[in-house]
Structures are given as structure tokens and as C-alpha cells.
Amino acid sequence: MVVPITNLQNDIPKTMKKFFLNLILKLGLQPGQKTVARQLRQPSGKLGVAVGNKMNHGNASLYDWVLEQMNIADNSRLLEIGYGNGNLFTKVFAQANNLHITGLDFSEEMYKQAVKNCQLQVQQKQLDLHFGSSNAMPFADNSFDAVYCCNVVYFWENPQAHLAEVYRVLKPGGKFFAGIRTKQTMLLMPFTQYGFALRENHEWEEVIKQSPLTFVSLPVGLEPEMSFNAKQFTPECACIIAQKQG
């Protein structure tokens, strides 16, 4: 059953195509779908900084919905893969008391931005930030109650290597949550033909079942209406949920 997402921010962009093209032109670059795709995968330079800022808004509804699926408990130790510029961590800290969050991002630029933006949480030892890839994580076994990410798993060239690491760092009974937009929605955005591994929901389920994790569920939701290529559509998103048995 598809469930509409509630409690959304009012400032979510209505036209993602217009945003990306205006952003690239403003920074003096030639607009192109490959540039957009490359920056979404691994933001870098001035364009990467701007993309990180704007995507906080573009991903807000998906991010909020994933947090609802997580139902975070007090005293949890969490790992976010792909934290961007770190400005969304405040949403996570608001979910429960006495949380400790670790972040891992593939973009060195996003790591630098997050260090600047999250100085207080880092100083208070609520937050640890790392630069690196999720297929070789610098964390001990059985470290986290939950691992989560939003709009990240399309970029995993070998998802089993990443999922094996997720399994390793989760505590027994811990869960993995991956927020995605469905293949049908992603295909409406031309840049996704470059470097995005798009799968149907049932294919994501099979990917999980081939990993050490146990598949739990894959709820689907609807985001606010947006336009792309002069067409209005309602994006469909999903949350892959899996668990480390133990």
C-alpha cells in the first residue's frame, strides 16, 4: 500500500530540473546531465557545496519519512551513510534523547562542510564525522543500533560489498534503513541515466536477500508533487528495511 508522506516542509523545491540548471549556470558551468549525476554521487568544489545546501530541501520529505520508519529509541548509537553537509543531523537528534551519531560520507567536500556546520555536536561528543566509503568502513564490529541513508544505494557499484559492511557494524538485532525513490520516479529525471543503478522494488528486495542481512519490509510513500520537463508528477519513494539477526 502506498502511503502519502505527512509533516512536510513548505520549502521543498517544485522543479528539480530548474534548480539544477540554474545552479550550474550561476556557477559559470555548462549545464549537462552528466555534471548533475556526478555531483549527486560525489559533490565536489563550489558546485558540490551548492548542491549539498539545496539537496537538504530536495530530500527533506524522504529524510523525514525514513526517520519515521526508524522509530529511534533513546540512547541509540546510529550511523548515517551519506550525510552531506551535516545540516540534517538536527532532525535526527530531535527524535530521541541521548543519541550518538556517526557519519560517513564519500565526498571530501561534504565532510569538510559538515565539520564546519556541526562543530557544537562534535565538541559535545554527540557526533563523529568520517570521510570514506561504506564498502570499507573504519568502525568496529557490532557498533550501531541502526544504519541509515537516503538516496545513496543507487551509487553502490557492488551493493553486496557495502551491505556486508553494514551487517558487520550493526549490533545483533540492529536494522538498516535505506530511503530511495522508485525506479519509475527516477527515470523521469534524465541525469539518472549516468551512474545510477536503478532497480525495481522487488529487485532491491532480492539484493538484500543475497546479503547477510534479513529482509524486513519495503514500505512505499508519496512525496509532494513536482514538475520535470514541463510535466507534473508525484514522486514515489520507498524505504528498504533489513535487520541483522541475533
Quote the CA–CA distance of 129 and 127 in Å, as a whole number.
Answer: 7
State the Cα–Cα distance between residues 166 and 162, nearest whole angstrom: 6
Check: pTM over 0.75? Answer yes or no. Answer: yes
pLDDT in single tens digits along all 246 residues of the chain: 555 554 444 444 445 555 555 554 454 444 466 766 666 655 556 665 666 666 777 788 999 999 999 999 999 999 999 998 999 999 999 999 999 999 999 989 889 999 999 999 999 999 999 999 999 999 999 999 999 999 999 999 999 999 999 999 999 999 999 999 999 999 988 878 888 899 999 999 999 999 999 999 999 999 998 776 677 889 999 999 999 998
In sequence order, the 6+-apart residues with CB closer than 8 A to the CB of 94 are none
Q: What is the per-residue pLDDT for 29? A: 43
Give the model's pLDDT for residue 92. Answer: 98
pLDDT of residue 42: 56
Of all helices (H) and strands (E), which one includes residue 26?
helix 16-26
Our CA dihedral for 187, 191, 195, 198, rounded to 10 degrees, sits at: -10
Q: How far apart are CA 189 and CA 67, in angstroms?
A: 25
Task: Give the Cα separation of 108 and 49 in Å (integer).
Answer: 11
Tell me the one-letter amino acid at 8: L
> What is residue 155's three-state secondary structure?
helix
Within the chain, strands assigned E span 2-4, 77-81, 100-105, 127-131, 144-150, 170-181, 214-217, 220-222, 226-228, 231-233, 236-243
Q: How far is CA 31 from CA 28, 40, 89, 97, 171, in A?
A: 9, 14, 31, 44, 44
Amino acid residing at 19: F
> Would you state the torsion angle of the CA atoms of residues 195, 201, 204, 210, taken in this order, to the nearest 10 degrees?
-150
Rounded Cα distance, 75 and 98, in Å: 5
Query: Nearest to residue 127, comparing CAs of 145, 104, 148?
Result: 104
Give me the pLDDT at residue 189, please: 82
